[in-house]
C-alpha cells in the first residue's frame, strides 16, 4: 500500500454530465456568463450555501492578448452593425461595441491587470435524486445572481482535473474563462472588508480577520446613530475556557478608564486582583454576617419619570413585590401559586407596619429602615394565631410558614439581615464564589438577590454604568419565569439609566428552553451586541433559536480556538480575534480561568 492508493478515491466513474466518486454522486457546474455589474463581496451569498465547493482560477493575461481579443470582437460587432437591418438591434450592437472601446481605453489608461477568470461549482450528494434536486436549486440561485452555469457534457473528468492543482493544464481551460480586470475580479471574492473603528471612548478589542484593529464603543448610541445599535447591551457566549472572561475584563478595564461606573457579579471570584489594582471594591458575599449581605426586602428605586407621575410608591412597591416573588420562586421552585399570592399579601402587610405602602415616597429610606424576613415571619405567625379555625386560608398560611422558616433560621446570615454594602469606589465587584457550590435553590436565590441589588446600583443616569453578570444561565430557571422576566426587564430598561449590560453565559441552551424562550428571546433581542466564542454543536443549535446564524457561521463557531469570536455588532458581523497582551493577562490576575 502506498500513499497514492491511500489518497485515491475507492471508485471513480465519469458519466456524461456527472460522476460517481467513492459512494457520492457529484457534478461540476462551470460558469459561462457573469452579470454586467457586481458589488463587493459578490460571491459571498453563494459561498454561504453549505456543501458547495467553489473553485476559482485566475490566470494573468498579457495586456496585448486581451486588447487583441477585444479589438477582434469589436471588429466583428462593427461588421454586424453594418449588416443589421433592424434599427433597434443595430442600436444595441452599437452600444455594445462602444462600451468595449471604452473598456479598452480604460484598460490602457489605468494599466489594470487582466485575468482570465474561471469558476466551477462542485455539488455532491448521497443519491442521484438528491443530486438532481441540489443542482436545480444551485442553478436557480445562481441565475438569480445573474450567473449562468452548466455541467460541461462529456468533460466532467477534465473539469475535475482542472480544479485539482496536481494535474496539468486541461484543454477546457482555453474555453471556459472570462477576461476580467483586477478590480472586478477582486470584488468577486466573497470577503467583505468591513471593520469596526468606532469613534469616541472605545475598547481596543483585538483584530478582525484582515488584521485591522477592532475599536469598539459600547455606548456609541450616545454620540452617533447606527442601524441596530441603539443600546449598550452585550451578550458574551462560549464554552468554558473559550475566553469569555478575558474579553469581558478587557471591556471592564477600558470602561473604568473612561470613567464609567462598573458593577460586576463575579461567580468565580476572578476579579479580585483587578479590582484591587484599580482601587475597586471587592465585596465577599455568601460568607454572611460581617462581610456583605443584601436584604431581599430592600426596595430598588427603579421608576422613570413617566411612571413617577402615576405615583412613585405605586410603581416601586409593585416592582418590589414582583421581584420578591421571583426571589421566592428561586428559593422554592415548587411553591404553588396560592402560596405565592399569600406571600404577596403578607409582604404588603409587613411593609405597611414599617410605614411603606403604595403611596410612600421611598427615596427617603436607607437600608436600616426596611423590614427583613424576621418581620415577615412575625406577620405570618401573627396571622396563624389569629385564625382559630382550620380554614383553607390557614392551611396555605401554614404552608408559607414552613417555607419561610429556614430563611430566618439556618439561612439567616444570607437572607435575614439589613443590607451592609458600602462601596467606596466606582468599580464594584460582588464576589459570589463562596455560594456557587451551595444547593441549587440557595445559590439561585442568592444570585437573583444580588442581581436585583446590583441593578439598583446602576440607576444613576448621570454616569454611564456597566452591569456585568457572568454565569447568567443560572437565572434561567425553567420553573421560574418571574426570574427570567426580571433579567429581560433589566435589558429593556438599562438604556433609560445610561447603563449597558454585559451578560455572559456558557449555556445558551438555558435561554432557549421552551419554558423561558419568550424571556430568552427578549434578553437577546434587547442586546445590540453579541460576542460568540467557541461553542459545542448543541449549544450552537440552541443559540440559533435566539439569534440569526448562517450555516457557515455555525460551522465556524464549533471550530473556534481560544480568543476567536464572531462579533455581531448591530447589523454588522465579523470574525475577530480577541487579543490580550501578556501584560494585560497578568494585570487581570490568575483567578478564574477554566
Ligand atoms: N484572547 C486571549 N488571549 C490570550 N489568552 C487568553 C485569551 N482568552 C483566554 N485566554 C487564556 O485562557 C484562560 C481562560 O480564559 P477565560 O477567559 O477565563 O475563559 P472563560 O471565561 O470563557 O471560561 C485565561 O485565563 C487566559 O489565560
Ligand atoms: Mg469565565
With both helix axes pointing from N to C terminus, report the angle between 87-110 and 63-83 in degrees, rounded to the nearest 10.
160
Q: Which of 418, 451, 472 is the last residue of a domain?
A: 418
Going by alpha carbons, the residue nearest to atom 17 of ligand 1 is 243
Distance 419 CA to ligand 2 centre (A): 28
Mutate which of 243, 534, 567 for ligand 1? The one with the most ligand atoms within 8 Å of its CB, which is 243
349 occurs within a structural domain: yes
Continuous segment of H or E residues that includes residue 217: none
Alpha-carbon distance of 255 to 245, in angstroms, equals 15
Q: Is the dihedral of CA 244, 250, 251, 252 positive or negative?
A: positive
Q: Which residues pair with 107 in a beta bridge?
A: none
| Nearest atom in ligand 1 to 588's CA | 25
The grid cell for 199 is 469613534
Does the CB atom of residue 580 touch ligand 1 within 6 A?
A: yes
Does the CB atom of residue 246 touch ligand 1 within 6 A?
A: yes
Distance 257 CA to ligand 2 centre (A): 22
Q: Which domain holds residue 381?
A: 295-418
pLDDT of residue 289: 64
Same domain, 67 and 120: yes
Distance 586 CA to ligand 1 centre (A): 12
| Nearest atom in ligand 1 to 246's CA | 17
Is residue 448 classed exposed, middle or buried when 0-12, 13-18 and 19+ CB atoms within 10 A define those classes? buried
Alpha-carbon distance of 304 to 153, in angstroms, equals 71
Q: Which residues surround ligand 2, an ion (CB under 5 A)?
A: 245
Distance 594 CA to ligand 1 centre (A): 8
Same domain, 119 and 45: yes
Number of H helices, E strands in the chain: 23, 18
pLDDT of residue 309: 61
Does the CB atom of residue 576 touch ligand 1 within 6 A?
A: no
The closest ligand to the CA of 243 turns out to be: 1
Q: Cα–chain-centroid distance for residue 521?
A: 12
Does the CB atom of residue 505 touch ligand 1 within 6 A?
A: no
Continuous segment of H or E residues that includes residue 533: none
> Cβ(307)–Cβ(315) under 8 Å?
yes
Going by alpha carbons, the residue nearest to atom 3 of ligand 1 is 580
Does the CB atom of residue 240 touch ligand 1 within 6 A?
A: yes
Distance 472 CA to ligand 1 centre (A): 18
Going by alpha carbons, the residue nearest to atom 11 of ligand 1 is 243
Torsion on CA atoms 92, 95, 100, 101, rounded to nearest 10: 140
Torsion on CA atoms 445, 446, 448, 449, rounded to nearest 10: 110
Same domain, 159 and 67: yes
Binned average pLDDT, 10 residues per bin, the chain of 594 residues: 69 92 93 86 79 89 83 92 92 89 82 89 93 94 93 94 92 90 84 80 88 92 93 97 95 95 95 92 79 89 70 86 95 94 97 94 91 97 93 95 95 90 93 89 93 94 96 90 92 96 95 94 96 96 92 91 95 91 81 46
Does the CB atom of residue 245 touch ligand 1 within 6 A?
A: yes
Mutate which of 236, 238, 241 for ligand 1? The one with the most ligand atoms within 8 Å of its CB, which is 241
Alpha-carbon distance of 564 to 566, in angstroms, equals 7
Q: Is the dihedral of CA 533, 535, 541, 542 positive or negative?
A: negative
Does the CB atom of residue 593 touch ligand 1 within 6 A?
A: yes
| Nearest atom in ligand 1 to 249's CA | 17
Torsion on CA atoms 341, 347, 352, 353, rounded to nearest 10: 130
Domains held by the chain: number:
3
Same domain, 279 and 306: no
Same domain, 134 and 97: yes
Report DSSP state, residue 496: G
Same domain, 273 and 333: no
Alpha-carbon distance of 427 to 131, in angstroms, equals 60
Distance 445 CA to ligand 1 centre (A): 29
Alpha-carbon distance of 279 to 3, in angstroms, equals 63
Same domain, 242 and 275: yes
The closest ligand to the CA of 251 turns out to be: 1
The grid cell for 482 is 418571574
Residue whose entry in the numeric block shows the C-alpha cell 410608591: 313
Same domain, 8 and 99: yes
Same domain, 322 and 266: no
Q: Which of 394, 418, 442 is the last residue of a domain?
A: 418
Distance 202 CA to ligand 1 centre (A): 21
> Cβ(232)–Cβ(465) under 8 Å?
no
Alpha-carbon distance of 212 to 206, in angstroms, equals 8
279 occurs within a structural domain: yes
CATH number, domain containing residue 247: 3.40.50.300
Does the CB atom of residue 577 touch ligand 1 within 6 A?
A: no
Does the CB atom of residue 585 touch ligand 1 within 6 A?
A: yes
Does the CB atom of residue 242 touch ligand 1 within 6 A?
A: yes
Same domain, 475 and 587: yes
| Nearest atom in ligand 1 to 247's CA | 17
* Terminal Cα distance for the chain, rounded: 45
0.95 exceeded by pTM:
no
219 occurs within a structural domain: no
pLDDT of residue 313: 80
Does the CB atom of residue 311 touch ligand 1 within 6 A?
A: no
Beta strands in 519-563 (DSSP E): 529-532
Does the CB atom of residue 241 touch ligand 1 within 6 A?
A: yes
Alpha-carbon distance of 24 to 131, in angstroms, equals 9
The grid cell for 238 is 462560549
Distance 150 CA to ligand 1 centre (A): 49
The closest ligand to the CA of 240 turns out to be: 1
CA-wise closest residue to 253 among 580, 591, 590, 593: 580
195 occurs within a structural domain: no
Same domain, 322 and 372: yes
Residue pLDDT, tens place only, 25-37:
999 999 999 987 8
With both helix axes pointing from N to C terminus, report the angle between 337-353 and 373-385 in degrees, rounded to the nearest 10.
110
| Nearest atom in ligand 1 to 238's CA | 22
334 occurs within a structural domain: yes
Rg (CA), the chain: 33
Does the CB atom of residue 244 touch ligand 1 within 6 A?
A: yes
CA within 13 Å, CB half, 451: 33
Going by alpha carbons, the residue nearest to atom 8 of ligand 1 is 243
> Cβ(551)–Cβ(520) under 8 Å?
no
Q: Which of 188, 212, 244 is the last residue of a domain?
A: 188
Query: Residue 168 to residues 162, 171, 200, 291, 568: CA-CA distances in angstroms?
Result: 8, 10, 55, 76, 43
208 occurs within a structural domain: no
Same domain, 256 and 340: no
Alpha-carbon distance of 434 to 489, in angstroms, equals 27
The grid cell for 383 is 396571622
Is residue 359 classed exposed, middle or buried when 0-12, 13-18 and 19+ CB atoms within 10 A define those classes? exposed
Mutate which of 203, 238, 246, 473 for ligand 1? The one with the most ligand atoms within 8 Å of its CB, which is 246
Distance 241 CA to ligand 1 centre (A): 6
212 occurs within a structural domain: no
Alpha-carbon distance of 59 to 501, in angstroms, equals 51
302 occurs within a structural domain: yes
Phi, psi of 323, rounded to the nearest 5 degrees? -75, -30
Distance 266 CA to ligand 2 centre (A): 9
Phi, psi of 221, rounded to the nearest 5 degrees? -55, -20
Amino acid at each position: 500500500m502506498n500513499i497514492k492508493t491511500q489518497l485515491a478515491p475507492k471508485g471513480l466513474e465519469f458519466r456524461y454530465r456527472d460522476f460517481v466518486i467513492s459512494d457520492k454522486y457529484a457534478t461540476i457546474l462551470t460558469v459561462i456568463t457573469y452579470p454586467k455589474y457586481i458589488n463587493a463581496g459578490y460571491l459571498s451569498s453563494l459561498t454561504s450555501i453549505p456543501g458547495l465547493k467553489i473553485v476559482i482560477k485566475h490566470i494573468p493575461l498579457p495586456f496585448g492578448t486581451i486588447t487583441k481579443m477585444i479589438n477582434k470582437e469589436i471588429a466583428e460587432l462593427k461588421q454586424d452593425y453594418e449588416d443589421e437591418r433592424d434599427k433597434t438591434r443595430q442600436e444595441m450592437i452599437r452600444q455594445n461595441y462602444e462600451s468595449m472601446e471604452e473598456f479598452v481605453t480604460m484598460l490602457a489608461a489605468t494599466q489594470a491587470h487582466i485575468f482570465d477568470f474561471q469558476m466551477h461549482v462542485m455539488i455532491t450528494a448521497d443519491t442521484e435524486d438528491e443530486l438532481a434536486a441540489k443542482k436545480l436549486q444551485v442553478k436557480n440561485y445562481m441565475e438569480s445572481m445573474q450567473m449562468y452555469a452548466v455541467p460541461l457534457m462529456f468533460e466532467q473528468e477534465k473539469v475535475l482535473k482542472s480544479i485539482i492543482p496536481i494535474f496539468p493544464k486541461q484543454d477546457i481551460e482555453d474555453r471556459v474563462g472570462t477576461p476580467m480586470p483586477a478590480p472586478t475580479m477582486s470584488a468577486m471574492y466573497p470577503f467583505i472588508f468591513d471593520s469596526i473603528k468606532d469613534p469616541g471612548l472605545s475598547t481596543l478589542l483585538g483584530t478582525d480577520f484582515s488584521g485591522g484593529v477592532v475599536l469598539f464603543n459600547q455606548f456609541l448610541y450616545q454620540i452617533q446613530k447606527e442601524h441596530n445599535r441603539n443600546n449598550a447591551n452585550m451578550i458574551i457566549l462560549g464554552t468554558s475556557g473559550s475566553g469569555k472572561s478575558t474579553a469581558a475584563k478587557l471591556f471592564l478595564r477600558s470602561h473604568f478608564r473612561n470613567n464609567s461606573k462598573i458593577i460586576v457579579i463575579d461567580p468565580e471570584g476572578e476579579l479580585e486582583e483587578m479590582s484591587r489594582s484599580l482601587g475597586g471594591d471587592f465585596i465577599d458575599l455568601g460568607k454572611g454576617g460581617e462581610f456583605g449581605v443584601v436584604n431581599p426586602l430592600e426596595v430598588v428605586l427603579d421608576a422613570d419619570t413617566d411612571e413617577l407621575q402615576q405615583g412613585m410608591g405605586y410603581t416601586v412597591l409593585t416592582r418590589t413585590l414582583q421581584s420578591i416573588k421571583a426571589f421566592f420562586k428561586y428559593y422554592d421552585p415548587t411553591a404553588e401559586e396560592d402560596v405565592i399570592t399569600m406571600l404577596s399579601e403578607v409582604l404588603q402587610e409587613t411593609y405597611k407596619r414599617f410605614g411603606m405602602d403604595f403611596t410612600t415616597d421611598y427615596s427617603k429610606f436607607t437600608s436600616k429602615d426596611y423590614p427583613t424576613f424576621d418581620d415577615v415571619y412575625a406577620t405570618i405567625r401573627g396571622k396563624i394565631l389569629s385564625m382559630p379555625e382550620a380554614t383553607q386560608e390557614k392551611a396555605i398560611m401554614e404552608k408559607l410558614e414552613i417555607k419561610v422558616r429556614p430563611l430566618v433560621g439556618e439561612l439567616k446570615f444570607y437572607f435575614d439581615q439589613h443590607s451592609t454594602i458600602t462601596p467606596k469606589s466606582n468599580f464594584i465587584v460582588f464576589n459570589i464564589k463562596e455560594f456557587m457550590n451551595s444547593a441549587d435553590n440557595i445559590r439561585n436565590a442568592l444570585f437573583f438577590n444580588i442581581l436585583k441589588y446590583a441593578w439598583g446600583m446602576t440607576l444613576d443616569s448621570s454616569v454611564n454604568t456597566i452591569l456585568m453578570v457572568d454565569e447568567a444561565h443560572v437565572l434561567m430557571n425553567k420553573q421560574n419565569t418571574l426570574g427570567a422576566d426580571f433579567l429581560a426587564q433589566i435589558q429593556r430598561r438599562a438604556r433609560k439609566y445610561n447603563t449597558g449590560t454585559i451578560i455572559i453565559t456558557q449555556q445558551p441552551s438555558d435561554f432557549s428552553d421552551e419554558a423561558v424562550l419568550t424571556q430568552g428571546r427578549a434578553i437577546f433581542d434587547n442586546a445590540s451586541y453579541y460576542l460568540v466564542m467557541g461553542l459545542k454543536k448543541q449549544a450552537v443549535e440552541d443559540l440559533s433559536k435566539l439569534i440569526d446564524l448562517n450555516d457557515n457561521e455555525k460551522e465556524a463557531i464549533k471550530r473556534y480556538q481560544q480568543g476567536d469570536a464572531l462579533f455581531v455588532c448591530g447589523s454588522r458581523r465579523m470574525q475577530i480575534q480577541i487579543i490580550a497582551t501578556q501584560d494585560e493577562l497578568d494585570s487581570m490576575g490568575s483567578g478564574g480561568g477554566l
